[in-house]
Chains A and B, each alone.
Chain A
Amino acid sequence: MGDEFESDTVVASGNQDELIMQQQRQIEREISESTALVGDLEPIASLNNEYSNDVVYLEKIKDLASKYKYMRRTRPDGNCFFRAFTYAKLERLLDNKIDFANFYKIVEGSKHALVELGFPQFTVEDFYDTFIDVLKRLGDIKTATDAKKELHTLFNEQGYSDYMVVYLRLLTSGQLQRDQDFYSCFIEGERTVADFCHQEVEPMYKESDHIHIMAACAAMNTGVRVVYMDRGTSKINIEHDLPEGTQPSVHLLYRPGHYDILYL
Chain B
Amino acid sequence: MPRSGWDPTEDSEQGTLTATASSRIKRDLMTIFTDPPPGLFVVGDELNLKIIHAIIVGVMDTPYEGGFFYFVLKCPNDYPIRPPKVKLMTTDAGNVRFNPNIYSSGKVCLSILGTWNGPAWSPAQQLSSLLLSIQSLLNEKPYFNEPGLVQEQIPGDSKRYNEFIQHETLRVSVCGMMENQCRLSIPEQLKDIMGKTFLEFYDQYVEIAKNNMHLDGTEMIDPFNKGRHLCHYKNLLLRLEKIRAKVMGKTWNFFKEPSCTNVDLKERQTNEEAKCSSTIAS
Q: Do A and B bind each other?
A: yes
Number of interface residues of A (CB under 8 A): 41
Whether the pair B1, A198 counts as a contact (CB closer than 8 A) is: no
Whether the pair A204, B103 counts as a contact (CB closer than 8 A) is: no
Given known A199-B118, A202-B124, contact A6–B27 (CB-CB < 8 A): no
Q: Is the CB of B129 closer than 8 A to any CB of chain A?
A: yes
Whether the pair B104, A3 counts as a contact (CB closer than 8 A) is: yes
Q: Which residue of B lies closest to A163 (CB)?
A: B20
Q: Which residues of A contact B24 (CB under 8 A)?
A: 126
Whether the pair B122, A202 counts as a contact (CB closer than 8 A) is: yes
A202–B119 alpha-carbon span in the complex (Å): 9
Given known A6-B97, A159-B19, A206-B120, contact A122–B78 (CB-CB < 8 A): no
B1-50, CB < 8 A from A: 1-6, 18-20, 24, 27, 31
Report B7 CB to chain A, min CB distance, Å.
11
Report A2 CB to chain B, min CB distance, Å.
6
Whether the pair B103, A1 counts as a contact (CB closer than 8 A) is: no
Describe A's contact surface by its main secondary structure.
helix
Given known A25-B2, A77-B1, A130-B20, contact A204–B129 (CB-CB < 8 A): no
Q: Is the CB of B226 closer than 8 A to any CB of chain A?
A: yes
Report B154 CB to chain A, min CB distance, Å.
13
- What sequence of 0s and 1s flags, for each residue 120-164 of chain A, a beta carbon within 8 Å of any chain B beta carbon? 101110110010000000000000000000000000001100110
Report A122 CB to chain B, min CB distance, Å.
6
Given known A21-B2, A126-B27, contact A6–B225 (CB-CB < 8 A): yes
Report B234 CB to chain A, min CB distance, Å.
21
Q: Is the CB of B262 closer than 8 A to any CB of chain A?
A: no
Q: Is the CB of A28 closer than 8 A to any CB of chain B?
A: yes
Q: Which residue of A lies closest to B229 (CB)?
A: A1
Given known A6-B103, A22-B4, A25-B3, contact A127–B18 (CB-CB < 8 A): no
Q: Is the CB of B123 closer than 8 A to any CB of chain A?
A: yes
A120–B122 alpha-carbon span in the complex (Å): 12
A residues contacting B by CB (< 8 A) are 1-6, 10-11, 14, 18, 21-22, 25-26, 28-29, 32, 77, 119-120, 122-124, 126-127, 130, 158-159, 162-163, 166, 169-170, 195, 198-199, 202-206
B residues contacting A by CB (< 8 A) are 1-6, 18-20, 24, 27, 31, 78, 80-82, 95-97, 100, 103-104, 109, 114-115, 118-126, 129, 223-227, 229, 277, 280, 282
Ordered by A's residue number, 12 sampled pairs between the chains whose C-beta atoms are within 8 Å are: A2-B226, A2-B227, A4-B225, A6-B224, A26-B4, A119-B124, A122-B27, A123-B124, A124-B124, A159-B19, A204-B120, A206-B120
Which 10 A-B residue pairs are closest in the complex by CB-CB distance? A203-B120, A202-B122, A5-B224, A1-B282, A22-B4, A198-B119, A199-B119, A166-B123, A123-B124, A203-B122
